[in-house]
A and B are shown apart, each in its own frame.
Chain A
């Protein structure tokens, strides 16, 4: 006789949270995963359609959604989301804005054709969500510029930025530089390169 474990039945049942539950879970690190997964499931097709329509590829969607969640979490934690729309609509708006930032050249056209109009969207983003999106964009650019330095250069700058500061001799030892002065000189050069790279990409 075949028996079905009650555990299996429980696992197949998809839990759906209310808006309030979703927000509470986004705020709580311990249960955030379920809320993120639910939002992902509810919005991924919509976001994929948008990405494909405006010059992206299938694989761009998850990267965009990941960045979108970083902004959403900050926004919800700071109580900028006031149930002025469904959380999923709010999240799609965030992703859309990030995507438009990534593809600035297509901004005007995307703005004309997107089902969520600028006006509707503006009403969603009370508070300074745009600042969060722009900050996330700067972090995204900085991350890319650091990658251009190579692994060791990236590690060097991140290590030199630790708070409280790690002494240069320790950094030199950890990253196998011949002396603390070499490490310091390299960090100065890298800091200049990264900063120039960020400014250039922001201005592009």
Chain B
């Protein structure tokens, strides 16, 4: 066991007297280890206070919500000049929305989804390895069995410095897509896109996550990247862009 791995055991007071002595000697000899311990120790102390704080915060939150709900009229007492501008802006937006409703439409997001979207499938095989790989393989298995929530839980345990981290992010994003949790999928596709081998796929699926979350501008920006890449789904991305315009 290396000394960094001893930090949690030290904080939980699980080390034997001999191990503790050895660890403390290492702390004196290794400033980086001492700094790491100090950093984790601060979070560790705060962590102990968190459950009680969460309970108190939830309780106060419920009182605030109750008090706020009891006075719905209090928020619209006066019309300041700012409120007037807001009202005018709201009226303009409403008119624009009504105009939009009566304009002929090219295609709805749902129809495009039905025509273009195919769920992500994972086909790469990983070699057997350390515990991180086994977590990944378990995540892949759960994903393939369509146990998406369990796959997400397993894959989220993979460390960000692991070699298969980007693949794990891709799978987590895809699992969220399958659960129609589009906003949750976006940051994972973003992480996956850092890997050059996954960037095109990640951009394509992230574009879909934005589109399904109603963020058309962000979706178009990513589709432009996909279309320009000449790689994965570039033709579909170009078609989709035309239909979105």
Task: Spell out A's residues near B (CB within 8 Å).
Answer: 33, 36-37, 40-41, 44, 62, 65-67, 69-70, 73, 135, 138-139, 142-143, 146, 149-153, 157-158, 160-161, 163, 165, 178, 181-182, 184-189, 191-196, 198-199
B115 on interface, CB distance cutoff 8 Å = no
- Chain B window 63-98, contacts with chain A (Cβ cutoff 8 Å), 1 for yes, 0 for no: 111111001000000000000000000000000000
> Of A152, A182, A193, which contacts B160 at CB under 8 A?
A193
Please, which residues of chain B bring their CB within 8 A of the CB of A181? 131
Decide yes or no: A188 and B5 within 8 Å by CB, A36-B63, A150-B156, A158-B50 being known contacts.
yes
> Of B12, B51, B54, B64, which contacts A62 at CB under 8 A?
B64
Q: Are B57 and A66 in contact (CB under 8 A)?
A: yes
Please, which residues of chain A bring their CB within 8 A of the CB of B8? 160, 184, 187-188, 191
Decide yes or no: A143 and B68 within 8 Å by CB, A73-B56, A165-B13, A195-B40 being known contacts.
no
The smallest C-beta distance from B158 to any residue of chain A, in angstroms, reads: 9
Given A152-B156, A185-B131; 10 other pairs, CB 8 A cutoff: A36-B63, A66-B57, A69-B60, A135-B46, A142-B43, A158-B47, A163-B48, A182-B131, A191-B7, A195-B42
Minimal Cβ-Cβ distance residue in B for A153: B156
Q: Are A153 and B157 in contact (CB under 8 A)?
A: yes
- Chain B window 150-163, contacts with chain A (Cβ cutoff 8 Å), 1 for yes, 0 for no: 00110011011000
> Of A44, A153, A157, A199, which contacts B47 at CB under 8 A?
A157
Q: Are B68 and A62 in contact (CB under 8 A)?
A: yes
Q: Are A142 and B50 in contact (CB under 8 A)?
A: yes
Please, which residues of chain B bring their CB within 8 A of the CB of A152? 153, 156-157
How many angstroms between the C-alpha atoms of A73 and B138 in the bound complex? 46
Max count, chain A CB within 10 A of own CB: residue among B65, B71, B138, B153: B153
Q: Are B53 and A40 in contact (CB under 8 A)?
A: no
Q: Are B63 and A139 in contact (CB under 8 A)?
A: no
Decide yes or no: A165 and B14 within 8 Å by CB, A150-B153, A158-B50 being known contacts.
yes
> Of A70, A158, A165, A192, which contacts B40 at CB under 8 A?
A192
> Of B5, B13, B63, which contacts A33 at CB under 8 A?
B63
Q: Are B131 and A198 in contact (CB under 8 A)?
A: no
B44 on interface, CB distance cutoff 8 Å = yes
Please, which residues of chain A bring their CB within 8 A of the CB of B12? 160, 165
Please, which residues of chain A bring their CB within 8 A of the CB of B135? 182
Q: Are B46 and A138 in contact (CB under 8 A)?
A: yes
How many angstroms between the C-alpha atoms of A188 and B42 in the bound complex? 15
Decide yes or no: A191 and B43 within 8 Å by CB, A62-B68, A65-B64, A150-B152 being known contacts.
yes
B28 on interface, CB distance cutoff 8 Å = no
> Of B44, B64, B131, B153, which contacts A191 at CB under 8 A?
B44
How many angstroms between the C-alpha atoms of A21 and B47 in the bound complex? 33
The smallest C-beta distance from A200 to any residue of chain B, in angstroms, reads: 11
Q: Are B43 and A41 in contact (CB under 8 A)?
A: no
The smallest C-beta distance from B13 to any residue of chain A, in angstroms, reads: 7
How many angstroms between the C-alpha atoms of A184 and B9 in the bound complex? 9
B61 on interface, CB distance cutoff 8 Å = yes
Please, which residues of chain A bring their CB within 8 A of the CB of B153? 150-152
The smallest C-beta distance from A31 to any residue of chain B, in angstroms, reads: 12
Please, which residues of chain B bring their CB within 8 A of the CB of A191? 7-8, 11, 40, 43-44
Please, which residues of chain B bring their CB within 8 A of the CB of A65? 64
The smallest C-beta distance from B160 to any residue of chain A, in angstroms, reads: 7
The smallest C-beta distance from A153 to any residue of chain B, in angstroms, reads: 6
> Of A139, A143, A161, which contacts B44 at CB under 8 A?
A161
Max count, chain B CB within 10 A of own CB: residue among A69, A158, A191, A195: A195
Q: Are B48 and A161 in contact (CB under 8 A)?
A: yes
How many angstroms between the C-alpha atoms of A153 and B154 in the bound complex? 10
Minimal Cβ-Cβ distance residue in B for A40: B67
Query: Which B109-162 residues have C-beta < 8 A from chain A?
Result: 131, 134-135, 138, 152-153, 156-157, 159-160
B49 on interface, CB distance cutoff 8 Å = yes
B39 on interface, CB distance cutoff 8 Å = yes
24 example contacts (A-B, Cβ-Cβ < 8 A) are as follows A37-B67, A40-B64, A41-B71, A44-B68, A62-B68, A139-B46, A142-B46, A143-B54, A152-B153, A152-B156, A161-B47, A163-B48, A165-B12, A165-B13, A182-B131, A184-B8, A185-B131, A188-B7, A191-B8, A191-B40, A195-B40, A196-B39, A198-B42, A199-B39
